Amino acid sequence: MITFFDAFISYGRADSKAFATKLNQELVAQGLNIWFDQDDIPLAVDFQEQIKSGIEQAHNFIFIIAPHAVNSKYCLQEINLAVQYHKRIIPILHREQTDRATWQSRNPRQTEAQWQAYQAQGLDSSFTNLHPVIQKINWIYSREQIDDGDHALAGLIEAIAQHQDYVTQHTQFLVQALAWDRNQKQSKFLLTGSDRIEAEQWLKHQFSDEQQPCLPTDLHCEFISESIKNVNNLMTQVFLSAAEEDNEVKEQIGKMLMREGLTIWTNQTDIQTGTAFKQEIERGILRADNFIYLISPETLRSHYCQQEFAFATAHNKRIVPLLIRDTALELIPPELQELQFIDLTPGGDELNYRRGIDKLLKALKSDAYYHESHKLLLVKALKWQHQNRNPSILLRSYNLQHFAAWLKIAQQRSDYPPILLQEEFVTKSLQQPKPSSLEVFISYSRADSDFARKLNDALTEVGKLT
């Protein structure tokens, strides 16, 4: 059973042990569960691992600013971990400076020259070597004999309570994502049912009128995206095609898309060991709504990328070309030149890049339902074809009504129309005798909808659900 904490307190003992101890007691008295090293590190254990777990499982990271904490390598490690996990950080200014007398009392044998060297390195100050992330955050002031301690405590409690549900979910999903990552990203550690739905809603939550309390990490986004992909039988919304030389750009774009809640397929993450490479590539294209082609001189020279583009085009996949590096127009094949490029070449200003990303997201969201249906029907039709047109795989009931209606609309389109196999599959499905009754009725709650969908698909495949 995982224990979660409302906050983790990071401090330097030389300056702030008594202050931190009192703060911990005050927060506990308010009913908060606080991770505090004097209380939460058992004997005979690796204390760094305990601290790491404490930060992972804490909703907020309280950093007590004082010279010793600012210049402590251990506190720096704690801050860096909190930053890595995108924790909400709440800084409290406790002490600005270490004076000469205090330093001398701690170092009775040191000389004036050593004191001056200490000052020259900024070790006597809370500001000289302060972590840049801490510098940018609005602090709570609780300096002894200067600030109102009760007011500071009230401000801290208010900060912890703000957007509490969102921040709590950030921690919960992070802990689950870390468990997935530490277990070789096995699918059994992914989210399912209501947990997966809740995570997807959390990731897409927008803070339009105020600053977001903490951002999802890349691991959050990948974990939730893979959970969505898993429940959709590994089908995705985007296939990313690029030359190996452009893998860094491809990874960057992939992370951005997952941050928007989209599912992606790449050859770096989705080809299992021991499987046929070309077959898996084609499978990934067929099972994706969109084919994003990263245009660069290397991509256009790549035989594999050319094959992927030709395969996507042959199956009338939506092609979204992204120009990621300056490329001579004569290198671009005519069928690709006809499409509208989105310019994401480096060297431009941030505003233009952001506009390009917005265009990409708008393009992917446009007609999303149409392209998802195109994919689903294509996958079903190909399975029917591969199994020698097995009649048990033909469409029935709701699926037949849905895809027959989709086909009527799709046949009127000039862009990304259905292929002949899709049309034949629907036609044959419409021609089959109508069943007199259902063989199976599935009753389920909304929380079990993911499992029910998988069961429905499995029964449909063997021809038992009409």
pLDDT tens track for 366-388 = 999 999 999 999 999 999 999 99
Encoded tokens for 66:
């004082």
Mean pLDDT, rounded, for 41-69 = 87
How does residue 277 score in pLDDT terms, banded at 50, 70 and 90? confident
Position 265 scores a pLDDT of: 92
Using the predicted structure, report yes or no on whether residue 44 has a pLDDT greater than 50. Answer: no
| 466 pLDDT more than 50 | no
Q: What is the pLDDT of residue 37?
A: 86
Residue 464 has pLDDT above 50, yes or no: no
pLDDT at 237 exceeding the cut of 70: yes
Task: Name the pTM for this structure.
Answer: 0.88
**pLDDT the model gives residue 450:** 72
Please tell me the predicted confidence (pLDDT) of residue 232.
93
Mean pLDDT of 65-88: 96
Q: Do 270 and 218 form a contact (C-beta atoms < 8 A)?
A: no
What tokens were used for 48?
A: 């760094």
The CA distance from 70 to 200, in Å, is 37
- Calculate the average pLDDT of the chain: 91
**Per-residue pLDDT tens for 316-347?**
999 999 999 998 888 888 888 888 899 998 87
With bands split at pLDDT 50, 70 and 90, how would you rate the model's confidence at 465?
very low
Closest CA to 331 of 299, 295, 294, 300: 300
Please tell me the predicted confidence (pLDDT) of residue 110.
92
42 pLDDT band (50/70/90 cuts)?
low
State pLDDT tens for residues 241-260: 999 999 999 999 999 999 99
Reported as a single tens digit per residue, the pLDDT across 131-166 is: 999 999 999 999 999 999 999 999 999 999 999 999
Q: What is the sign, positive or negative, of the torsion defined by CA atoms of 252, 335, 331, 310? A: positive
Q: Check pLDDT > 90 for residue 444.
A: no
**Which H or E run contains 9?**
strand 7-10
Quickly list DSSP for 186-205.
Answer: -GGGS--HHHHHHHHHHHT-
Q: Render pLDDT for 159-178 as a digit per residue (tens, 0 to 9).
A: 999 999 999 999 999 999 99
What percent of the chain stands above pLDDT 70?
Answer: 94
Q: What is the mean pLDDT of residues 57-81?
A: 96
- What distance in Å separates the CA atoms of residue 385 and residue 450, rounded to the nearest whole number? 27
The confidence score (pLDDT) of residue 87 equals: 98
